[in-house]
């Protein structure tokens, strides 16, 4: 049983053809080819970043972060999906990662505002190495379940609902 053949106008079909040659050259490190990829996709990436962040200035920064990640990740791009699908996923991940970082910064500011004595301590912070050692010891002392939750939430940025699932 065969149904009617549906034909899509050429303007509706994804345009991966010309992109493939630029993609191959960019994967070999050709900056001009990468520029062509940027030119072809920056508008779409900006739209994703703007829609997810709601802030035009932040969206512009996120676009730069996305294309930096793409440049760094191109050698590992296997082509299991189309380039545009992969690029979209990179863009979404960059925005989500930025949100997690923003949330952590807001939480730290709120902590200092809630505990003014912490601000005085923060004015003369111990060295990063000493803090890292203290933190590693404290995390290592946690029971495994609590350690896992701590790392997933505070280090990786997962929400408690995501961890519980």
pLDDT tens-digit map of 67-84: 999 999 999 988 888 999
Let me know whether 90 and 20 are in one domain.
Answer: yes
Predicted model pTM:
0.54
Same structural domain for residues 27 and 39? yes
Q: What are the structure tokens assigned to 30, written together?
A: 């050709």
In a domain, residue 10? The reply is no
Note whether 159 and 119 are same-domain residues. no
State yes or no: pLDDT of 114 exceeds 80: no
| 65 within domain boundaries | yes
Average per-residue pLDDT for the chain: 78
- Among the ranges 66-80, 91-105, 130-144, which has the highest mean pLDDT value? 66-80
CA–CA separation, 27 vs 41, rounded Å? 16
Which pLDDT belongs to residue 78? 86
Residues 53 and 90 in one domain: yes
Residue 117 has pLDDT above 90, yes or no: no
Which CATH number do you get for residue 61?
Answer: 1.10.1740.10
Q: Please report whether residue 156 resides in a domain.
A: yes
Quick count: other Cβ atoms within 10 Å of Cβ 134?
11
Identify whether residues 24 and 66 lie together within a single domain: yes
pLDDT for the residue 146 = 75
Q: Is 90 exceeded by the pLDDT of residue 38?
A: yes
Q: How many domains is the chain partitioned into structurally? A: 2
Q: Residues 51, 111: one domain?
A: yes
Same domain, 47 and 113: yes
Q: In Å, how far are 4, 32, 70, 84, 95 from 76, measured between CA atoms?
A: 40, 19, 10, 15, 21
Domain that residue 40 falls in: 15-123
Task: Note whether 117 and 134 are same-domain residues.
Answer: no
pLDDT at site 36: 94
Alpha helices in 54-159, H assignment, sequence order = 56-73, 83-114, 116-123, 128-141, 144-150
Residue 86 is assigned to a structural domain of this protein:
yes
- Which has the minimum average pLDDT: 63-67, 95-99, 141-145? 141-145
**Per the domain annotation, does 1 fall within a domain?**
no
């Amino acid at each position: 049983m065969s149904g009617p053949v549906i034909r899509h106008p050429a303007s509706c079909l994804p345009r991966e053809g010309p992109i493939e040659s630029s993609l191959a050259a960019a994967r070999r490190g050709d900056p001009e080819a990468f520029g062509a990829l940027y030119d072809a996709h920056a508008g779409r990436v900006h739209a994703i970043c703007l829609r997810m962040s709601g802030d035009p200035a932040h969206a512009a920064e996120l676009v730069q972060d996305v294309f930096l990640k793409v440049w760094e990740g191109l050698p590992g791009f296997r082509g299991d999906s189309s380039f545009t699908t992969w690029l979209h996923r990179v863009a979404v991940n960059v925005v989500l990662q930025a949100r997690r970082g923003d949330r952590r910064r807001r939480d730290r500011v709120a902590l200092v505002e809630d505990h003014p004595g912490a601000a005085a301590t923060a004015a003369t912070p111990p060295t990063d190495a000493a803090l890292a050692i203290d933190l590693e010891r404290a995390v290592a002392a946690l029971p495994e379940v609590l350690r896992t939750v701590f790392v997933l939430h505070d280090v990786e940025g997962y929400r408690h609902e995501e961890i519980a699932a």
